[in-house]
A and B are shown apart, each in its own frame.
Chain A
Amino acid sequence: MEQHAQRYAGSIDQAPGVGENEHSDSMAMYTAGLGFALLLTCASFMVSQTDLLWPPGVPAGLAVLAIAQMGVHLVFFLQIGTGPDNTNNVVALAFGLLVVTLVVSGSLWIMAHLNANMMPASAIMEMQR
């Protein structure tokens, strides 16, 4: 096992959370990640509670901050990077994101149209009379 790991070292893949220099880098990664995450969280709360941002733009601003923070969590905590050793993890993540986007945007799109095309409840009552 030990030999195998050594033979393997420096060849291809990497797994989430398994950094290359686990013994030196990880601590700094986690600390940096915590700092960024706290900053972004404070920014989110500030944007939502004050009029710092142009009010109609607040939901978009919050969405941007949330996506940035999820990126920080992925890179610094789960340690999913963009290096060549990380291809599998990123491909899996991309597929997950595709499904999530389809589910969320598809549901919103369909339900918005259904809502718009639905006959008002009073009209349905009229028809049943």
Chain B
Amino acid sequence: MSAQAAMAGLAGAEAATTGGLNSAGPAPVRIVVAYGFWLFLLSDIIMFSALFASYAVLSGQTAGGPSGRELFELRHVGIETLCLLLSSYTCGLGVVAIERRRLVFFYVSFALTFALGATFLGLEVSEFVGLVARGAGPSRSAFLSAFFSLVGLHGAHVTAGLLWLTFMVAQTAARGPRDFVRRRLLCFSLFWHALDIIWVALLTLVYLMGAR
């Protein structure tokens, strides 16, 4: 059913070249699942865009409190960025490994992904704790409220991703690299890469532009 729905959706785009539904029948489950998950990721990005817009509007409203230039430490942020980029890479390698049925390589890659993701999260939490300790908590100014909700939502996504990763590693260990397990691992890797894209926007708008 969902395969047919996906086909109907693409029929419009393909109609010009193939004249409607393809004769090969509905797409394989793996294609349909990944396409559906891609739509979810796009809607997630749209949700983030609302918070980006509110941050952009409120970033100057410091209410006499500290501004980004006084608060952000770019060295710290650089390490966070490096962690996320490398974890995206190891996550991609893990998915390649599971497709080739190389389980040891897969476990090592995903363990590294988890470690890098957890390091990122630890750095972010320590940054938040430091800000609150300096009296620059989310209730200090509109700028800081927008900052904490935008960066905090990204952090919440990373936390959810780490939980999902742990669950998927356990499932792979229990059920082996079957079709449905590999589909879920593919979705997880798409989620993790999408978080990276959001972090690039966040790094540029919040930290690099804010610290100038």
When distances are taken between beta carbons in the complex, the residues of chain A under 8 Å from B42 are: 92-93, 95-96
Which of A16, A17, A69 is the one whose CB lies under 8 Å from B200?
A69
Which of B93, B100, B208 is the one whose CB lies under 8 Å from A30?
B93
Main secondary structure of the interface of A (DSSP, over half): helix
Do the beta carbons of A13 and B10 come within 8 Å of each other? Answer: yes
Is B148 positioned at the interface, with any CB of A under 8 Å from its CB?
no
Do the beta carbons of B10 and A88 come within 8 Å of each other? Answer: yes
* Per-position 1/0 for A1-36, Cβ under 8 A of B: 100110110011111111000110011001101100
Do the beta carbons of B10 and A49 come within 8 Å of each other? Answer: no
Which of B30, B179, B189, B203 is the one whose CB lies under 8 Å from A15?
B30
Q: How many angstroms between the C-alpha atoms of A62 and B186 in the bound complex?
A: 31
When distances are taken between beta carbons in the complex, the residues of chain B under 8 Å from A30 are: 89, 92-93, 96
When distances are taken between beta carbons in the complex, the residues of chain A under 8 Å from B17 are: 84
Report B183-212 residues with CB < 8 Å from chain A CB: 186, 189-190, 193-194, 196-197, 200-201, 203-205, 208-209, 211-212
Do the beta carbons of B49 and A100 come within 8 Å of each other? Answer: yes
Q: How many angstroms between the C-alpha atoms of A96 and B82 in the bound complex?
A: 27
Do the beta carbons of B92 and A99 come within 8 Å of each other? Answer: no
Main secondary structure of the interface of B (DSSP, over half): helix
Do the beta carbons of B209 and A92 come within 8 Å of each other? Answer: no
Is B19 positioned at the interface, with any CB of A under 8 Å from its CB?
no
Do the beta carbons of B189 and A17 come within 8 Å of each other? Answer: yes
Which of B6, B34, B179 is the one whose CB lies under 8 Å from A16?
B34
Is B22 positioned at the interface, with any CB of A under 8 Å from its CB?
yes
Do the beta carbons of A17 and B22 come within 8 Å of each other? Answer: no
Is B160 positioned at the interface, with any CB of A under 8 Å from its CB?
no
